[in-house]
Structure 1
C-alpha cells in the first residue's frame, strides 16, 4: 500500500496538487490490481492552515509521523510561505525519503525550498522557468541539471512548474503504476485538450479492464 503524505502550509496553492490528490484518493480510474492508496495531510503542527483559495485544512499528522519506506510518497505543493524556517523540517524529511528510495514530488514554490537545501544540485529537475531558482534560492547549485519543461520525472523525484500540475499528476500516477497505461494516456489527453473523444476513450479503457 502507498501512503501519500500531502504537506499543507498557509497559502498553499490549491489547484497545484488538485489533479493528483483527487485521482489517488478516489481511485476512480485505478486498474483492477492497483495497490491500495492512503492519503494523509501532514504539517509542522496540528494547527489548521488556510490555503490560497481560502479553504481551511486541519492536518492529519505531523512531519515526525511520516514513515520512511519505499511506499511513502511526499507531495510538496506550492505556497508563498516556503521561506518560513518552520518548513525546513519537511525538506529535511524529503531528503531522507529520497535517499531511502521513497518518492518526493514538488511543484512551484516547493521546488525552491528543495533547491535551497541542495536537493536539486545533482538531479534533473524543473521549476518556474530558467533563472527562477537562482533568484529565490541563494544556495542553489543545480543549474546544469535544470530541464525547461512543465514537469520532470527523475525516478523517485518529480518536480513541476506552477503551470505543470496536470503533467506532474500524470508522472506521479505513472510512477506509482495505479492506472493502466492506456487509461492514463486517455485521462491526460482528455484533461489537457477537453476533447470528448478522449473522455469516451477513457471510459472504454475502464470497460476493457473489467473484461480482463
Structure 2
C-alpha cells in the first residue's frame, strides 16, 4: 500500500486536506494517509486538533513507498523552522512524486523556487509575491481555485474541494462520473431530484 504524506505544522489548516484524506483512506484505494512534520512533537491545528506525526524529516519513507506529498496551509509557513520542509519537497520533486500544496503552503513553495516552471495558483498573485520574496513564477500564475500541472497541484485557501478533486483524479482514486458526483456533493450539497 502506498503512502500519501500530509505535512503538518503547528497551526495547520485542518480542513484543507480533510476532504481528500477521508477518500484516500477508504478500503480498496491502495493508499494510506500518514503524517509528517519537521519533528515528532505534537502539532496543533488551527481548529485545535492535536496530531502526533507518524514521521519526521529524518525518517520519512523511501520514494518507492510515497504516492504523494500534500501540504496544507496554515499560520506557520513563514516561520524559519518550517523552512526545513524544503528537504522533503526537494526529495519528492527529484523522485517524480506529486506534490500538492494549498493556501499559504503555496507561498512556501514559491519562496523556494518550486513554482518557477509550472502553472500554479495561490492566495492571489500579490499575496504570493509579498509572502515569498524569492518567488519568480509570475508567468506561470493562474487565477483559479486549483491548478494541476504535471506533478504539481496548487490551490488557494478557498479551493479545498477543487484541490481534493485534482488529487483524487491524479491518484486515480475517482474518475469520470464518480469524480463528478463526488465533487458535486461537496461543492454544491445534496439537492432533491
- Band of TM-score, shorter chain: over 0.9
The count of corresponding residues between Structure 1 and Structure 2 is 192
- In the alignment, does 2:28 pair up with 1:21? no
- In the alignment, does 2:59 pair up with 1:67? no
Match of 1:150 among 135, 145, 161: 145
Query: What value does the CA root-mean-square deviation take over the aligned residues?
Result: 1.6
- Contact 2:3–2:65 (CA<8 Å) still a contact in 1? no
1:53 matched residue in structure 2: 47
- With over 3 angstroms needed to count, the CA separation of the structure-2 counterparts of 1:56 and 1:145, relative to structure 1, is same
1:7 matched residue in structure 2: 7
Q: Which runs of 5+ in 1 are unaligned?
A: 28-33, 199-212
Deviation (angstroms), 1:70: 7.7
| Greater fraction of residues in helix | 1
Q: Decide which structure has the larger Cα Rg and report it.
A: 1
Deviation (angstroms), 1:44: 1.0
1:204 matched residue in structure 2: none
Deviation (angstroms), 1:95: 2.3
- In the alignment, does 2:100 pair up with 1:126? no
- Contact 1:70–1:102 (CA<8 Å) still a contact in 2? no
User: 81-90 or 15-24, which moves further after superposition?
Assistant: 81-90
2:173 matched residue in structure 1: 178
Counterpart Cα distance in 2 of 1:56 and 1:113: 23
Counterpart Cα distance in 1 of 2:83 and 2:63: 17
TM-score by length of 1: 0.85
Question: Deviating runs (4+, > 4 A) in structure 1?
Answer: none
1:38 matched residue in structure 2: 32
